[in-house]
Every structure is written in structure tokens, then in C-alpha cells.
Amino acid sequence: MPYITTADGTQIYYTDQGSGQPVILSHGWPLSSDAWQVELKLLADHGYRAIAHDRRGHGRSSQPWQGNDMDTYARDLAELVEQLDLHDIVLIGHSTGGGEVVRYAAQHGVGRVAKIVTAGAVPPVMVKSESNPDGLPIEAFDAIREGVLKDRSQFYQDLSVPFFGANREGSKVSQGARDDFWRQGMLVGLKAAYDCVAAFSETDFTEDLKALDVPILLAHGDDDQIVPIADAAVKSIELVKHGELKVYAGAPHGIAGEYQEQLDADILAFLVK
């Protein structure tokens, strides 16, 4: 399996499929690059070089004690890009991965990044504070940490329900999709899973979004129960220079079913604009 080794000795797993303009896909918490299997094939079939990595602590990558923070995630991505010598890159990030690609593009990717797509992404900032009164209370994230520590297997099974909107009338998400969410979650090291909650909830991406000077497609379901759209994409679109907001009616946080089909079609269309 292909890996790169970062400056601090962490091994980052990645998959690399197809040829053409590089498209890097960054996954959400607590998943891995496996979450992008459909998109990897789709992009490669359409003439792109599709690359997806497992964030440190997740999937098949190393599980170091340190570095489970957004700055380090972005540096890891920068090292992957540099070691593969990638240019004219399209970045795609879901949820936590949306934060990772935004920070990478703003702080490391100038001159290398051509376009960005985020889906259900965490920017600008999730947690409630004096400067962000509309955010989610810290208690919501404390509950996630408690669930991970107490019984992460059951917690991931339970979390798959709101993640895919399985608690909504008419939901068509399969048990298989929920099982795969659990499977990927169980590959995350406990320390990484715990620390990453702060990374995705407390990191402020406001200045990163303002710094972006490339086209960005902000995709978000309006029934996202994990990253509410009003606190995320609706605010982010006001901060970026060249943004397009795409709202998916009734879509949840997890990318599956009709939402996945619509999003994938929109990604392909955005890539050729």
C-alpha cells in the first residue's frame, strides 16, 4: 500500500487512481479515504487523477500521540502534495475534511490549488462562543468525547442515524451504509478520535476562508443534523471571494443515495467550469 512519511515520522496512507488533473479528497470524522470510493472511481473514469488519504490517526495511517489538530492535518496534506509533486489541484473535503482543505489551501497551497469543493464542511467555526453566539454549545462536543471514551463502538452505531438522516421519515439510507460508517469509525485510534473533536469544532477558519483566491463550491444539505448549514456554509459563503453555495433540499450530513448522485454530478460540472 502507498504511504508517505511526514517530517515527524507519521506514515500517511493514500490511494491514487487514474491520471490527469489531480483531485485530492479529504474525509470526515471518524472516517477514512474509504468514504470516497465512489468518487475516486467516478473521477478516475472522467479523466482525473483521484487521490484520497487517511488522516493521521485514522484508517490505515499511523496513530501518533501528537498532532491531532487542524494545523498538523493541513501540514500532512502539504507534505503529501509536495512528495507527489502535485500542481493545478482540485481539493474536495467533507465535514472535517472541508476544514482541512480550506486551511491547507490558505496556508500551504497558494500556487498549487486551482479549485475547492466542500460538502457539509465545518468552517467557519462550529462551537458557540462570545464571538460566535450562533454556534453549537461546547456541551454538544463534550457529549461526543464522552461517547467515544465510554463505548465508541455503540456510539458510532448510534451516530450513524443522524449522520445519514435515518431518523427522518422516508429515509432510504441502507443498513450497509450505516455499517460501513461504523467499520471506518472503529479504525480510528481512540486518542485521535477524541482529539479530533476539538480540531473540527473549535478551529476558527474565518481568516482561511477570507484568504482563498480560487473558486470554491460550498455544498451543504439543509437537513444536516451534524453540521447545521446555518452555522457553516451560509456563513462561509459570505467570507470567500469566489464562492458558489449549493443547497441540497432534505439532504443529511452523510454523502449517500440521491444526495451523493446529485453532489457527484455537481462536482463534475464544477471541475470543467
Backbone angles phi, psi at 79, to 5 degrees: -70, -35
Query: Which residue bears the cell 477524541?
Result: 194
Q: What is the pLDDT of residue 1?
A: 67
Residue 115 structural domain:
3-271
Identify whether the C-beta of residue 201 lies closer than 8 Å to the C-beta of residue 126.
yes
Average pLDDT over residues 10-23: 98
Is the model's pLDDT at 144 over the cut of 70?
Answer: yes
Which residues form the catalytic set? Answer: 95, 224, 253
Cell triple for 42: 467516478
Q: Report pLDDT digits (tens) over 176-232.
A: 999 999 999 999 999 999 999 999 999 999 999 999 999 999 999 999 999 999 999
Q: Work out the angle between the directed axes of helices 190-202 and 96-107 (0-180°, nearest 10).
A: 70
d(CA 126, CA 153): 25
Q: What angle do CA 228, 230, 233 make, to 5 degrees?
A: 85
Average pLDDT over residues 64-85: 98
**What confidence category does residue 160 fall into, taking pLDDT thresholds of 50, 70 and 90?**
very high
Sign of CA dihedral 181, 95, 227, 270: negative
Q: What is the pTM of this model?
A: 0.98
What dihedral do alpha carbons 246, 248, 251, 254 form, nearest 10°? -30
Q: List, in order, residues 6 or more apart from 118 with CB less than 8 Å away.
A: 92, 93, 94, 98, 101, 102, 216, 217, 218, 219, 233, 236
Q: List, in order, residues 6 or more apart from 139 with CB less than 8 Å away.
A: none
Q: What is the pLDDT of residue 185?
A: 98
Q: How buried is residue 200: exposed, middle or buried, by Cβ count under 10 Å (0-12/13-18/19+)?
A: buried
Task: Tell me what the pLDDT averaged over the chain comes to.
Answer: 98
**What confidence category does residue 234 fall into, taking pLDDT thresholds of 50, 70 and 90?**
very high
**What confidence category does residue 85 fall into, taking pLDDT thresholds of 50, 70 and 90?**
very high
Q: What is the pLDDT of residue 230?
A: 97
Total count of domains within the chain: 1
Q: How buried is residue 93: exposed, middle or buried, by Cβ count under 10 Å (0-12/13-18/19+)?
A: buried
Antiparallel, parallel or unpaired: β 21-26 and 89-94: parallel
Q: What is the largest CA-CA distance in the chain?
A: 48
Q: What is the pLDDT of residue 151?
A: 98
Query: Which residue bears the cell 450513524?
Result: 160
What's the CATH code of the domain at 221?
Answer: 3.40.50.1820
**How far from 79 is each of 25, 82, 108, 147, 260, CA to CA, in Å?**
15, 5, 10, 32, 29
